[in-house]
């Protein structure tokens, strides 16, 4: 009885490439940037995310130049405002740091897809993603109007895609109707539909200075133990008008990504979050794993599981170095 000789197609590099099922290209990737209002020339290294910075506006444009030239096609912006308050007013200020950044970037690179992260946590002094009641509870419905206002101000500044990451119920519907009313019916919503309450966000909270000052996010972000609930969250966001769905984090949640891929026809995004990035960086700094190879393997796995778009802190660097071409 002849047995299966899988090695026949692994014999030479070209043969292997010919039968390769999943390939990464620059158009798969979205690079996140942290833009700080403090000083236009700032470049503050983020200790827990080697190679990533809080960038002032001028400095951000300087970073973008070679990345866009090399083929980076999409970015997502997170703002670090100079002042924070209870209602996160910096998120929806017409001249907020992200609104300024979007205007400057779109003026220079009209073709670059600029995604605006829509959330309040970087702008609230308590660090939560919504308004906090005297009881300490994060209020759902009163937060919706502020998120909608944030989305409209980002669209007005020129954002190509609105990406709510707050996990309030009903925010996609609220944002969709506010955008439509303001004349932005053509602007898509990429919903962080399936966002888990994950410890993998730790380094991001240092980067964005957005750690909750009390409690945690478990009353609005999802329990990592739940898979069926992910399908309900996704279905709800589709019904509310989402155009793209996101799963976050990525690598520890490939089963979720794959389940969404089977069930829904919308484009899917996955966010390889800060902690996933930092793990790879730390292990490679210790000489325990090869950074480039383990990162490419992770990104390939995320795409193979069903992601059309991958948000990753490796995007600009890998595209510039020709590692993803």
117 is an interface residue for ligand PBG by CB under 6 A: yes
SS3 17: helix
91 is an interface residue for ligand PBG by CB under 6 A: no
28 is an interface residue for ligand PBG by CB under 6 A: no
Q: Report the site for ligand PBG in 44-73 (rule: CB under 6 A).
A: none
Q: Which residue is nearest to ligand PBG (CB)?
A: 204
SS3 106: helix
Residues in the chain: 325
- Give yes or no: 195 in active site: yes
Q: What DSSP designation does 1 have?
A: -
d(CA 152, CA 187): 10
d(CA 131, CA 137): 8
Question: Which residue, 126, 255, 128, 115, is CA-closest to 197?
Answer: 128
**Residue 163 or 266 having the CB closest to ligand PBG:** 163
How many residues in the shown chain lie near ligand PBG by CB under 6 A? 12
Q: Around Cβ 66, how many Cβ atoms within 10 Å?
A: 12
Smallest distance from the beta carbon of 204 to ligand PBG, in angstroms?
3
Q: What DSSP designation does 200 have?
A: G
Q: Tell me the β-bridge partners of 160.
A: none
**Residue 63 or 205 having the CB closest to ligand PBG:** 205
Stretch that binds ligand PBG, among 10-18, 64-72, 117-125, 178-186 (CB under 6 A): 117-125
Q: Which residues of 102-127 are buried (b: 16+ CB within 10 A; e: fewer)?
A: bbbbbeebeebbbbbbbbbbbbbebb
**Residue 166 or 237 having the CB closest to ligand PBG:** 166
Draw the binding track, 196-215, toward ligand PBG (x: CB under 6 A; -: no contact).
-----x--xx----------
Smallest distance from the beta carbon of 236 to ligand PBG, in angstroms?
18
- Give yes or no: 106 in active site: no
Q: Report the site for ligand PBG in 160-189 (rule: CB under 6 A).
A: 165-166
> One of 84, 195, 281, 303 is an active-site residue; which one?
195
Contact with ligand PBG (CB under 6 A) among 52, 154, 274, 312: 274
Host H or E run for residue 280: helix 274-285
Burial of 299 (0-12, 13-18, 19+ CB in 10 A): buried
273 is an interface residue for ligand PBG by CB under 6 A: yes
**Residue 40 or 50 having the CB closest to ligand PBG:** 50
Question: Which residue, 115, 165, 162, is CA-closest to 143?
Answer: 165
Whether the CB-CB separation of 187 and 32 falls below 8 Å is answered with: no
Contact with ligand PBG (CB under 6 A) among 72, 77, 119, 260: 119
129 is an interface residue for ligand PBG by CB under 6 A: yes
Smallest distance from the beta carbon of 318 to ligand PBG, in angstroms?
16
Write out the residues near ligand PBG by the rule CB under 6 A.
117, 119, 121, 129, 165-166, 201, 204-205, 217, 273-274
Q: Which residues are catalytic?
A: 195, 248
């Amino acid at each position: 009885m002849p047995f299966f000789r899988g090695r026949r197609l692994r014999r030479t590099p070209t043969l292997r490439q010919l039968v390769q099922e999943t390939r990464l290209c620059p158009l798969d990737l979205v690079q996140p940037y942290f833009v700080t209002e403090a000083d236009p020339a700032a470049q503050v290294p983020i200790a827990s995310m080697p190679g990533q910075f809080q960038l002032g506006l001028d400095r951000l444009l300087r970073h973008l130049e070679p990345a866009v030239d090399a083929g980076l096609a999409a970015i997502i912006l997170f703002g670090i405002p100079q002042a924070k308050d209870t209602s996160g007013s910096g998120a929806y200020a017409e001249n907020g740091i992200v609104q300024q950044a979007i205007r400057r970037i779109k003026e220079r690179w009209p073709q670059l897809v600029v995604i605006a992260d829509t959330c309040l946590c970087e702008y609230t002094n308590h660090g939560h993603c919504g308004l906090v009641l005297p009881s300490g509870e994060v209020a759902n419905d009163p937060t919706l109007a502020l998120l909608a206002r944030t989305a409209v101000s980002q669209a007005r500044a020129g954002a190509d895609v609105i990406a709510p990451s707050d996990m309030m119920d009903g925010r996609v519907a609220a944002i969709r109707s506010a955008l439509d009313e303001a004349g932005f019916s053509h602007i898509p919503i990429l919903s962080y539909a399936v966002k888990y309450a994950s410890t993998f966000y730790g380094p991001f909270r240092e980067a964005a200075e957005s750690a909750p000052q009390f409690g945690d996010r478990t009353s609005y972000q999802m329990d990592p133990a739940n898979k069926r609930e992910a399908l309900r969250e996704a279905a709800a966001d589709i019904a509310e008008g989402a155009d793209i769905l996101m799963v976050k984090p990525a690598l520890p949640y490939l089963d979720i990504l794959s389940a969404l891929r089977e069930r829904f026809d919308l484009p899917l995004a996955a966010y390889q979050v800060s902690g996933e990035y930092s793990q790879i960086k730390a292990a490679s700094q210790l000489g325990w794993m090869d950074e480039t190879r383990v990162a490419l393997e992770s990104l390939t796995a995320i795409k193979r599981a069903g992601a059309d778009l991958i948000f990753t802190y490796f995007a600009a660097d890998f595209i510039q170095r020709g590692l993803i071409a």
